[in-house]
Structure 1
Amino acid sequence: MVQDSPPHTPATAPATPARALLPSILPALLVGVTASLLLVGVDAGAEELQDVLWRTVPDALGVGRYSVLWMSVVLVATGIAVGLVVWKVPGHAGPDPATTGLDAPVLPPAALPGLLLATALMLAGGPSLGPENPIIAVNVSLAVWAGLRAFPAAPERSWAALAEAATIGALFGTPVAAALIISEALAGQRLKGQLWDGVFAPLTAAGAGALTVTLVSRPNFDLHLPSFGHPDWADLLAALVIASVGALLGMAAVRAFPYVHRAFGRLRHPMLMLPAGGVVLAALAAVGGHLTLFKGLHEIAELAGDPDGWTAGEFAVMAVVKLAALLVAASCGFRGGRIFPAVFVGTALGLCAHALVPAVHPAVGVSAAVLGLLLAITRQGWVSLFVAAVLVSSPGIIALLCIASLPAWLLVTGRPQMQLRPDGTAVR
C-alpha cells in the first residue's frame, strides 16, 4: 500500500493580500510629507540664522567671518544658548544625545519644541553634528502621538517605522536608504508575510518624504569628483586599505566616546557642559579652519570641488579635527546626529590618500574612507554602503565598496558602538 506523501510546506511565507496593504498607503503618504516638511523647515530656519551669525553680524562689526575670535564667540554663545534650552525649556530638549541613535525613542509632545529649538541653534552655530537623530525623534514622536489618536488599535511601532523611514528618505533625497535600513532591521525578525509586505508602508512613507524634499529643495549628494570608469587591481587594493584605515580611525573615536562623555558629565549642569563644549570646539576650529564647522554637507562639496587644492597634511588635519569635533559635540550635550560629520571626515581622509599617493583615484579614496568611517560610527552596513556609493554616483565603484566593506566590518563588528547606555557604558 502506497502512503500519501506529506503536504508540501512552502519555502516562503504567503504574501499579504493587496486589500490588507491598501489602507496603509494614505497614512504613510501623510507621514512622509509631514516628516519631510518638518526637516526642510528646520534646515531652512537654521540656514537663515546661520547667515545672520556668520555673515550679517560679523560684516556689520567689521570682524572676519571665520576669524578665530568670531568662531570662538559664536561657538561659545551657541553652547550657552543650547544650554539654556536644555536647562529651562520643558522636556529639556529630550534625552542625552549620546544615548540615542537612528532608532529614536518616543518623546512626550512637550519635549519636542525644545528639541527642535536646540537642533536649529546647533545647526546654525557651527558644532559638528547633523540633524538626523533629533529630527527622527521629533517625527517619530509626532507620528505616534497623532497616529494613536486617529487609529488607537494600530501598534505604536508601525507609526514609528513610518516616521523613521520618511525622515531617512527625506534626509538622503531617496527612499533607497530607508529601504535598506528597514530590511536590515527586519532581518532578525519573524515576518508574518513576505519581506516586501513588511516594507511596503515604510517605503511608501520614505518615497513621499524623498519626493517632497526633492521638489522643495533639490538635494544632491554627488560630489562631482573626477569620473571613475572600470576598476582595476590597484583600485581594489586602495579601497581595501583605505576603508580599513577609515574604520580604525572611526573606532578610535568610538573608544574615546565614553571617556569624553564622562569628562563633560563631571560638570553636571548643561550651562557648564555645553559652553565648555563650545570652548573646546572653538579651539579645534582654530586648528582645523572653518571647513571643520557645521554638519559638513556643504563643506565636503568645497573639498571635493578642488581635490588637489590642499596638501596631504592639511587634509589629515581636517579629518582629525573634524572627528574630534564630532566626538566633543556628541559628548557635551549638543543635539544632533553623527552621519553627516562622519562623511566629512571620510572625504578628507580619502582626499588625503589621493594627495599622498596620486595613483589613488579621488572617487575610490573618498568612497572607501567614508564607508569605513560610517561602518565604525553607525554600525549600519547598508547605509554606509549607500552613502559611500551615492557620493560618487559611478556604477563601477559599487563592487569595490562591497569587497572593501568586508575587512572593515571585521574590524568593527562586536566592538563598542558610538552610543551609550544611560549608565554611560558603550552599547555593543
Structure 2
Amino acid sequence: MAVTDSPSSEIPGTPFRVLLPQVLPALVVGVAASLLFLGISTAAEKLRDVLWGTLPDAFGIGGFSALWTIVMLTTSGVAVGLVVWKVPGHAGPDSASTGLGGAPMAPGVVPGLLVATALALAGGVSLGPENPIIAANIALAYWLGRRAQPAVPGAMWVSLASAASIGALFGTPVAAALVISEALVGRPGHGSLWDRFFAPLVAAGAGAMTTTLLAHPSFDMSLPALTDPGWGDLSAAMAVATAAALFGLLSCYAFPHAHRAFRRLRHPMLMLPVGGLVLGLLGALGGHLTLFKGLEEVRELTSNIGGWSSGELARMTVVKLAALLIAASCGFRGGRIFPAVFVGAAFGLLVQALVPEIHPAVAVSAGVLGLLLATTRQGWVSLFTAAVIAATPAMLALLCLASLPAWLVVTGRPQLELDDSGAPLR
C-alpha cells in the first residue's frame, strides 16, 4: 500500500495545535469513504439479486445452474469490457498492477472504475472491492480536498483516504493501522509514531464506525472456539500455514503468464468476454460457492464443517484459486484479498478433512494466513484477517508463530501483483 506521510510527520514533537485541525477533514473523509463503499456494495448486491435470482426464475432456469453460470460470467465480461473500452478513463489502471493504494487518479476515471467494479461484483467474478474502492476514494479525496483546502498538502488527502477506505472495508481501524505501519517502515519523518498515525486513524475510525453502524459487517465465521491450545495445535498451525503459502505461490508464479496470454488478445472486448467465459466454466465446475468475492461464501463453507467431503473441498479450493488468477489476469477490476480468504479457508478445511485431529479453527485461520501471505505479502493484514476469522484470543499466539515459517517460504518470491511492464512484484 502506498501511504504518504501526513504533514504532521514533518514537524518534530507535533503539538496539539497542529493535530487538532486534522480531525474534521479526517472525519469527513472517513465517513465519505465508507458511504462510497457501502453505496457500491449495495448497488452490486441489488443487481446480483436480479441477475442470479429474478432473471433465472423468469426463464425457469436454476440460478446457479451450469448454463446460467456460464452465461452470466461471459455476459459480465462483455459488460465490463464495454466499460473498459468506451467509458472515459477506461475504468482506471489494470487491477493486475495495482495494490492497496497508489497515486491519485484523475476524478474522471472514477465513474467508469466504480461501474466496472459493481458489474464484476454482481456478475460473480472472483475479485473483491478493496482495490477499486481505495483508488476511487483517494482520487476523490485528493481532488476535492485540494480545492476545499489548498494549503493542505496533497499527501495528507491520500493518506486519509487510504486509511478511511481500509477501515471501512474491514469494519475496524486496526486493519488500517497495521497497513499504514508497514507502509511507513523506512520512510523519513519526524515526530512520534502516533503523531504520524493521528489523522489517518481518525479517518479509519470514522470509516469503520460508519460501515459498522450502517451495515454491521463481521469476519467472524462462528468457528468452534479453541480455548486451550497445545503443542499439537502449534505444529498444525505452522504446517497448514506453510502448506497454504506454498499453494498460494502457484498462482503467483502463474500470474504473469496468464496476464501475458490475455494481453495477446489486445482488445478489452476480447480479453474480458473470453476471461468471463473461462470463469463461467470454472464456476460451473466448482459450484456457486466459488463465485463472487467470497466473504459470504466463506460463512456458508464454514457453517457446515464436517459436511464437505475432501473431494468437494479440493475442487472448490483449486477452482477458486484458478478463478482468482483468471479474473485478475483478464482485465476485471477488483481486489484479491477477499477471494484469497475463501481459498485459504477451503484449503484449511481440506487439510482438516484429511487430518480430523486438527482443530477446525486452527486449520481455517492458518490456511487463510498462509494464502494471504503468499498472494498479498501484507504481513500484518494477513495476520489480522486470520485472527479475526478465528475470533479466539488463544489463536493469536499460534498465528504469530505460524506466520514465521510461512513468511520464510514467500519472502522474495513473486506475489499476485505485477508492475507496469507485466513482471511480478517481489
TM-score, length of structure 1 as denominator length:
0.96
Give the count of matched residue pairs: 416
Q: Is this contact kept in 2: 1:319–1:348, CA < 8 A?
A: yes
Q: How big is the shift at 1:40?
A: 0.2
The one of 399, 405, 408 equivalent to 2:406 is 408
SS in structure 2 of the partner of residue 119 of structure 1: helix
Q: Is this contact kept in 2: 1:129–1:337, CA < 8 A?
A: yes
Query: Using the alignment, how far apart are the partners of 1:297 and 1:96 within structure 2?
Result: 23
The one of 269, 273, 276 equivalent to 1:275 is 273
Q: Does 1:362 align with 2:364?
A: no
Query: Using the alignment, how far apart are the partners of 2:129 and 2:41 within structure 1?
Result: 8
- What amino acid maps onto 1:79 in structure 2? G
- What amino acid maps onto 1:426 in structure 2? P
Q: How big is the shift at 1:128?
A: 0.2
Q: How big is the shift at 1:191?
A: 2.2
Q: How big is the shift at 1:189?
A: 1.2
Counterpart position of 2:285: 287
Query: Using the alignment, how far apart are the partners of 2:158 and 2:188 within structure 1?
Result: 19
Query: Using the alignment, how far apart are the partners of 1:105 and 1:119 within structure 2?
Result: 19
SS in structure 2 of the partner of residue 152 of structure 1: coil
SS in structure 2 of the partner of residue 391 of structure 1: helix
- What amino acid maps onto 1:352 in structure 2? L
Counterpart position of 2:14: 16
Q: Does 1:310 align with 2:319?
A: no
Q: Is this contact kept in 2: 1:179–1:203, CA < 8 A?
A: yes
Deviations 1:38-89 (A, max 9, x none): 0000000000000000000001110011100000110000000000000000
Query: Using the alignment, how far apart are the partners of 1:380 and 1:401 within structure 2?
Result: 15
Deviations 1:296-344 (A, max 9, x none): 0110000111111101121111111100000000000000000000000
Q: Does 1:297 align with 2:295?
A: yes
Q: Is this contact kept in 2: 1:104–1:133, CA < 8 A?
A: no
Query: Using the alignment, how far apart are the partners of 2:199 and 2:331 within structure 1?
Result: 34
What 5-or-longer segments of structure 2 have no aligned partner?
1-10
Counterpart position of 1:90: 88
Counterpart position of 1:10: none
Counterpart position of 1:59: 57
Counterpart position of 1:330: 328
Counterpart position of 1:7: none
User: Quick check: 417-426 or 71-80, which moved more?
Assistant: 417-426
Deviations 1:253-305 (A, max 9, x none): 00000000000000000000000001110111121111000000110000111
Query: Using the alignment, how far apart are the partners of 1:358 and 1:420 within structure 2?
Result: 38
Query: Using the alignment, how far apart are the partners of 2:386 and 2:155 within structure 1?
Result: 29
Query: Using the alignment, how far apart are the partners of 2:219 and 2:102 within structure 1?
Result: 24
SS in structure 2 of the partner of residue 231 of structure 1: coil
5 Å-filtered alignment, 1:335-354, equals: 335-354=333-352
Query: Using the alignment, how far apart are the partners of 1:166 and 1:14 within structure 2?
Result: 25
The one of 179, 192, 202 equivalent to 1:181 is 179
Query: Using the alignment, how far apart are the partners of 2:170 and 2:94 within structure 1?
Result: 25
Q: How big is the shift at 1:14?
A: 5.5
Query: Using the alignment, how far apart are the partners of 1:317 and 1:157 within structure 2?
Result: 45
- What amino acid maps onto 1:311 in structure 2? S
Counterpart position of 2:170: 172
SS in structure 1 of the partner of residue 326 of structure 2: helix
Query: Using the alignment, how far apart are the partners of 1:131 and 1:151 within structure 2?
Result: 29
Query: Using the alignment, how far apart are the partners of 1:15 and 1:293 within structure 2?
Result: 50
Point out the structure with max Rg over C-alpha.
1
The one of 368, 371, 377 equivalent to 2:369 is 371
Query: Using the alignment, how far apart are the partners of 1:358 and 1:416 within structure 2?
Result: 32
Runs of 4+ in 1 over 6 A off after TM superposition: none
- What amino acid maps onto 2:418 in structure 1? L
- What amino acid maps onto 1:51 in structure 2? D
The one of 371, 384, 387 equivalent to 1:386 is 384
- What amino acid maps onto 2:202 in structure 1? T
Counterpart position of 1:266: 264
Query: Using the alignment, how far apart are the partners of 1:172 and 1:402 within structure 2?
Result: 20
TM-score, length of structure 2 as denominator length:
0.97
Query: Using the alignment, how far apart are the partners of 1:155 and 1:359 within structure 2?
Result: 55
Counterpart position of 2:415: 417
SS in structure 2 of the partner of residue 386 of structure 1: helix
Q: How big is the shift at 1:190?
A: 2.1
Q: CA RMSD in A?
A: 0.9
- What amino acid maps onto 1:65 in structure 2? G
Query: Using the alignment, how far apart are the partners of 1:105 and 1:323 within structure 2?
Result: 29
- What amino acid maps onto 1:151 in structure 2? Q
The one of 18, 23, 26 equivalent to 1:25 is 23
The one of 177, 190, 193 equivalent to 2:191 is 193
The one of 104, 110, 113 equivalent to 1:112 is 110
- What amino acid maps onto 2:375 in structure 1? I
5 Å-filtered alignment, 1:234-253, equals: 234-253=232-251
SS in structure 1 of the partner of residue 390 of structure 2: coil
The one of 127, 130, 135 equivalent to 1:129 is 127
Query: Using the alignment, how far apart are the partners of 2:364 and 2:235 within structure 1?
Result: 14
Same amino acid, percent of matched pairs: 65
The one of 195, 215, 219 equivalent to 2:217 is 219
Deviations 1:201-256 (A, max 9, x none): 00000000000000000001100011211210110111010000111111110000
Q: Is this contact kept in 2: 1:123–1:295, CA < 8 A?
A: yes
Q: How big is the shift at 1:105?
A: 3.0
User: Quick check: 278-287 or 327-336, which moved more?
Assistant: 278-287
Counterpart position of 1:4: none
Q: How big is the shift at 1:183?
A: 1.1
